[in-house]
Structure 1
Amino acid sequence: MRTRLVGLTLAALLPAVVLAGCSGSEEPGADPSATPTVTESPSEEPSATPSLDVPDGVELTTQGSALELGDTATVAYEVDQSTVGVLAITVTDMRRTTFKQSFQGWKLDKALKKANPYFVEATFKNKGETDLGGQRPPLYIVDGNDTLVESSTFVSDFDACPSKDFPKKFKPGKKVSTCLVYLAPDAGELVAVSFRPAQEFNPITWSGDVLKLGAKRKG
């Protein structure tokens, strides 16, 4: 799959999409930086990536693997220049929702209202040797324009789908389940969930039926 790396480029230019809410009688407000921004970077064929050190016995999922909901991929990626993360990732659900259904009481600007909101549920197990506490789950969605979209974060509680970073302590062997929020710009559609930590990485993707929020998934 050839994609424009909007998620990775966006992360380098400005904060992730942030929706701000407040409690009490005051009207919830949105952070001015919350406007979804689409920044294109040239598409290019993935090339081989340098091998990363992983613990003995850990077998990484082949780059380019096309998985389905419920499948697990074991991946390694550079968290920073001195830290390698190793995760077993299982994407378990993909849902489409609406701002009217899930964001009542939130103040959204016009650009945000043009986006399509999606919820993605996934589990992460730390199979490496480093604490990944506080890191953002390294998953994106791919929209119908082959664009990567980064998950949103919140400055206040969002019970419908918390979309939080990993816990402050996420040590080797620990497992967390989370729900991530994605806002696909310009009414974009969720085509797949993608693990692609670098442009030269041939992405590992998960696909399946994207159901309406609240609908029962068969099987």
Structure 2
Amino acid sequence: MTRSTTRPARAAAALAATALALVTAACSSSDPAPAEATPTAATPRGFDVPAGVTITPGGTRLAVGSPATVVYEVEGATSAVTVTVTKVEAGSMDDFRFFSLDAATKKSSPYYVRATVTNDGPAGLGGTSLPLFALDSTTTNVPANDIVGTFKPCPTRALPASFLPGATARLCLVYLLPEGRTLRSINLQTGTTADAIAWKP
């Protein structure tokens, strides 16, 4: 986000800051993480896996850069998607200097997670957000922050409005971990915690 001397820009920054603060306060959810989960099948009953696609067993642990294929169900659509967490990097709270944050949020540790997503079919998944969570040292699943407007260090959270079978998208997601917590893994959770796919940075 860049500095501007115009009132509209300041208003937009304030709106984005309010949205960030609300999501930060409301969306973190505590969910126990599986310890040494046994990989299991993660294909919904009645779903026909597209030809040539292999679903990654739930509970799989991966290194950053390795792909995983899961079945993702959203309202009115179910499709196989291949997700690769390509980079996990620590950010800086200086990047949020134009946001109006509360005292606790200002002490957070930001992380930027980049991922590629391919829709293997058969349904379109336009405009949806992936269930990618940051699992922290307290075994809390922290969701990506929903930032209004353009956040230059990490700009793209949702899939494109049109994301048909065969399409590939590149995402960047922002996570703010509360003070004193460290990042354990990035988890793709389309079902239970035991079925989550985890990338360890």
TM-score range, shorter chain: 0.7 to 0.9
Match of 1:36 in 2: 25
Which residue in the other structure is 1:186 paired with? 179
The verdict on how the C-alpha distance between 1:35 and 1:152 changes in structure 2, with shifts beyond 3 A counting, is closer
Cα RMSD between the aligned structures? 2.6
How many Å separate the matches in 2 of 1:74 and 1:108? 37
Q: Which residue of 2 aligns with 1:94?
A: 88
Specify which structure has the higher proportion of helix: 2
- SS in structure 2 at match of 1:78: strand
State the Cα deviation string for residues 132-154 of structure 1 (Å, max 9, x = none).
11000221111111111111122
C-alpha distance after superposition, 1:9-41 (max 9, x if no partner)? xxxxxxxxxxxx998343632225234344445
Partner of 1:72: 67
Rounded to whole Å, the distance in 1 between the matches of 2:189 and 2:93 is: 28
Distance in 1 separating the partners of 2:66 and 2:108: 28
Q: Which amino acid aligns with 2:97?
A: Q
* 1:201 Cα deviation from its structure 2 partner: 4.6
Match of 1:196 in 2: 189
Cα drift, residue 97 of structure 1: 1.4
Structure 1's consecutive aligned runs of 4 or more residues displaced over 6 angstroms after TM superposition are 42-48
Letter aligned with residue 23 of structure 2: A
- Distance verdict in 2 for CA 1:109–1:94, change over 3 Å: same
- Cα distance 1:33–1:201, how it changes in 2: closer, same or farther (>3 A)? same
SS of aligned partner of 2:181 = coil
Instruction: Please give the residue correspondences for 1:44-83 in structure 2 after superposition, counting only pairs within 5 Å.
Output: 50-51=44-45, 52-80=47-75, 82-83=76-77
Pairing partner for 1:121 from 114, 117, 120: 114
Cα distance in 2, alignment partners of residues 189 and 170 from structure 1: 33
- Superposed displacement of residue 57, structure 1: 2.3
C-alpha distance in 2 between matches for 1:153 and 1:129 = 28
Unpaired runs of 5+ in structure 2?
none
8 Å contact from structure 1 (residues 53, 84) kept in 2: no
SS in 1 for 2:73: strand
Contact conserved, 1:131 with 1:171, CA < 8 A, in 2? Answer: yes
Residues matched between the structures, number? 186
DSSP 3-state at the match of 1:177: strand
State the partner residue of 1:216: none
**Kept after mapping to 2: 8 A contact 1:35/1:111:** no
Task: Give the AA of the match of 1:131.
Answer: G
Q: Does 1:24 align with 2:18?
A: no
1:149-171 C-alpha deviation (Å, 9 max, x unpaired): 11112211111101421111011
CA distance in 2, matches of 1:117, 1:147: 15
For residues 96 and 127 of structure 1, the distance between their equivalents in structure 2, rounded to whole angstroms, comes to 31
Q: Structure 1's 53 and 192: CA in aligned 2 closer, same or farther, altered over 3 A?
A: same
CA distance in 2, matches of 1:151, 1:123: 16
Runs of 5+ unmatched residues, structure 1: 1-20, 209-219
1:88–1:127 Cα contact (<8 Å) kept: yes
Q: Distance in 2 between matches of 1:111 and 1:36?
A: 10
Tell me, yes or no, if the aligned pair for 2:29 and 2:142 is still in contact at 8 Å: no
